[in-house]
Structure 1
Amino acid sequence: MTILDARQSGLANGGPSFSLGNRLVRALWIPIWRIGAGWTPRQLHPWRRFLLRAFGAKMAPGSDVRGSAKVWYPAHLEMHEGAIIGPGVNVYSMGRITIGRKALVSQGVHLCAGTHDFDTPLFQLVAKPITIGAHAWVAAESFVGPGTRIGEGAVVGARAVAFGELQPWTVYSGNPARVIRQRRRFEI
């Protein structure tokens, strides 16, 4: 959601941050995911893909979201072939989150596609998309902030905090994430 979207939804006037339709979809989605997918073993990834697609996610063949992951708003999620979201991942998809071909988002990661405009009195919500390139790896318990673009083949080390533009085939670590070294490229 951009600032303009927030104004149109009534936030600038103290109203709700999201449309009634958005809130109703999320109210329906959360219990359906918990009951219908939260308990499922790894092998039932086609079923979880089906549920996500039913709520608007773009899920390519072979993509997988583990049952213990939380997807805030499925319509803002796009996963390419073989992309995986691991257990316990928080997909806070206020804005679009795109995960490239054979990219891996490991356990406990937080993908946060929303923030607040702290220069306004009401701290309006601002959505900024996250893009994770093909063959990238976001390691355990990392935080990927709003507007982040992780290049093809990049690695975000465990518990790193990533913002901005992360270059392809580069390994990052720390808070904030800094370049550690280049990663060897392979054919994709």
Structure 2
Amino acid sequence: MVALSGGRMIDLAASKTEWSTRIKLRRALWTFGVEPLVRWLPKPCSPVRVIALRLMGAKIGPHCLLMPGIKVLMPWNLRLEDHVAIGRGVDVYNFAMVEIRRQTVISQDTHLCTGSHDFRLPHMPLIHRPIRIGSGCWVAAGVFICPGVSVADGVVVGARSVVSKSLDIPWSVYAGNPCARITDRRMASD
């Protein structure tokens, strides 16, 4: 226990996250058994990654591309619709559900983080809320998306942005830290 100014106390020893035995076994099987076998397979082996994630409980639609180096904490908390592409080194830290709708691209080194800690309590317990990303979106390289965020259909999120609040205006371009709306997203004709 650590005493802070104003007599407040922090006690991380009291921080306990209770997981069922079933969840612990599933996480161990994925983390130490299946994921190390498929994570670094080359790009053409994307279907093997998809099959492994499906076997562990992920719901993945047809024609998805999952690049090497993707980390998924809990596959059973992952829902991808059709034609979703996830780039190299994306970290899906999904204590809660991560849902990505159709025709969406998540670029390399993005972090989809559903978990955090309640810093208002002395033992800082783990908290988690889902992330939902709409159809036709592009989340550019190195974006950090916080717990509980929803991204509307057609949104583009600029590289290295930090998304701490939902992006509610469809077909818009957002960027920055904190992420803010910049302009409409207008599609050019071919």
RMSD: 1.9
- Partner in structure 1 of residue 26 of structure 2: 25
Query: How far does residue 19 in structure 1 lie from its aligned partner after superposition?
Result: 2.4
Q: Which has the larger radius of gyration?
A: 2
Q: Contact 2:15–2:124 at 8 Å: present in 1 too?
A: no
Deviation at 1:90, TM superposition (A): 0.5
Q: 1:15 to 1:144 in 2, by over 3 A?
A: closer
Which residue does 1:169 correspond to in 2? 171
Instruction: Report the counterpart of residue 132 of structure 2 in structure 1.
Output: 131
Aligned residues: 176
Give the drift of 1:69: 0.7
1:181 aligns with 2:179: no
Residues in 1 aligned to 2:79 and 2:186: alpha-carbon distance in whole angstroms = 27
Give TM-score, length-normalised by structure 1.
0.87
CA distance in 2, matches of 1:123, 1:174: 28
Q: Could you tell me whether the CA contact under 8 Å between 1:94 and 1:127 is conserved in 2?
A: yes
Report if aligned partners of 1:169, 1:185 keep a CA contact under 8 Å in 2.
no
- Distance (whole Å) between structure 2 residues aligned to residue 65 and residue 138 of structure 1: 15
Alpha-carbon deviations, 1:18-58, whole Å to 9, x = none?
22322221121123344321221212222111100111000
Measured in 1, the distance between the counterparts of 2:30 and 2:184 equals 40
Identical residues among aligned pairs (%) = 39
**Are 1:82 and 1:103, in contact at CA under 8 Å, matched by a contact in 2?**
yes
Q: What aligned pairs does 1:77-96 form with structure 2 within 5 A after superposition?
A: 77-96=78-97
TM-score under structure 2 length normalisation: 0.86
Runs of 5+ consecutive residues of structure 2 not aligned to the other structure: 1-13
Secondary structure at 2:96's aligned position in 1? Answer: coil
